[in-house]
Structure 1
Amino acid sequence: MAEARPGGAPTVLRVVLGKRLQDLREKAGLSYEQAGLALDVTHATIRRMEKAEVGLKLPYVEKLLQTYGVTSPTEVSGFLALTREANRPGWWHRFRDVLPEWFSAFVSLEGEASIIRAYEPHYVPGLLQTEEYTRAVLWAGLPHASVDEIDRLVALRLERQALLTREKAPLLWVVMDETVLRRPIGGVDVMRAQIAHLADLTELPNVRLQVMPFTAGPHSAMYGPFHIFRFEIQELPDIAYTESLIGGAYFDERDDVSAFLEALDRMCAQAAPAQSTKAILGGIRKEI
């Protein structure tokens, strides 16, 4: 999972079912090639099903379950029911006209994570933005977009933010550079409102915000922003995400994710403690 996924972006449930199919195949002692023979497909198709890089066709899934020795009608019907659910488009599908395919996977992971940790050196993360700040950021990044496209993207971002106040909301723990708070985006009024909004969000029990001050000097993640997602679902490992101008990359190998986690842990120790964030925000807002 070390690059943007081709084809349709998977929902988290599809990723889970792919891993369950992999576990069943390995327990049955079958190779990719042997599983492919049962479906009359190539070994690459089996691999892509397990990696959630393609949709899960019900006849294929049913045949694989038989091949792997899953004979209980209850188990089979339950797996097929989950497969149908996994193949349904996520709520964000209605924004597919403006949502890049590589970012659809991000929205799915974000919505299912129990913990979201992030480092941001450039701008306020999307889940914490005001509408006006969002609009200014989008116009800066998409100068050739139409007004309608920007409006759709703003609506998408605001809808994503609902997860912070939902039942069983995830813990959002963000470290942001002081640069983020001092870069003038959208003008003075927009920045003052955005900083006030951040201060309000720190009152939420599931939001933890730390500021990396200029005086802290260099740190272990100065190369760029990233997110780490953690899930309660047993089959899902921690997943790290990075982004560039042309796409996103997802990492789920233990060594890769550990590198991101170690860097973020070091930054959390180096940044100002979360208890002082509201005071820092208030001081910067007065200086604007």
Structure 2
Amino acid sequence: MLRPFRNQIRATLVAATALATAAVVTTGVVIAENSTPEVKAVSNSQESPRLYVALGSSYAAGPGARSLVIGPCLRTKNNYPNQVAETLGMKLIDATCSGATTRNILDVPQRAFGGRPQIDEVPADADVITITTGGNDLGYVSRLILSGCGNVLPEFLKKTPIRSCRLGKDPFPEPQRSAYLEVERSMVAVIEAVRLRAPNAKILLVDYPPVVEPGKPTCARLPLLPDQVAQTVRIFNGLADATARAAQTTGVTLVEASRAGAQHTVCSATPWLTGFSPPVPYHPSEAGKKGVAELVVDALRPSRAQHANTRSGA
């Protein structure tokens, strides 16, 4: 049943090996110079631009094959924070980092981030702060990748350029209810700590676009069995619900990529996420970065603050 998946991924991996090798060489030069958050001023106005700080994991950092990757955190120049800053003419401190958990934002240093938590980069005069987090706390994407490895690539586990496939093919156990409650508590703690550091900032909690919608067929880009699809939906819904509760508790604005992205799943005609392919499976595509950026911009523009895919937690 999964032979079509095998054939497509086999061809993709051969072509991607050279790309993955080149990426290592390229980023090896950049890493030494870019271990700190990227600071970018994009306003042409004579007035001081508003200061925007982006916090979060790879869904905010935006790693991808077509984009210039900056440093060990794998930030890209066209991730949604950069696009928001460019559109609204804000000065950006991009503190996002691939692999980050909520604790890496709050109080646990991350090696890729220079051995310090992201919150250290939040200045008191920040005007806007976005936070995208929680997926790595639950092993959400790692589980998806490992499921794909087990389904279609058993003979390639030792040589595939999809790094996670080399870690084994058994996905993590499904999170229990306590795990979602812990993620919610951690998000609340992050928001409260950010608010203490930047009391006048507008804080937006930006959730994740979905990989798959319940009841929809899979495709070669999503080599999951029916029970794995059902599990993926459960975990995603649990994460989205925890994020919404954290926004409600703290009164920050929730930007619902989970809702807007429902029409842009991996197997849709206009996906916001990459499929099961190197170098970064199941992460925002070029269209996905643009789509989430537009949602954030909508939430920040006063006349559009009540956009259908955003809501205030207050």
TM-score tier, shorter chain, comes to 0.3 to 0.5
More helix by share: 1
Q: Give the TM-score normalised by the residue count of structure 2.
A: 0.31
TM-score (norm 1): 0.33
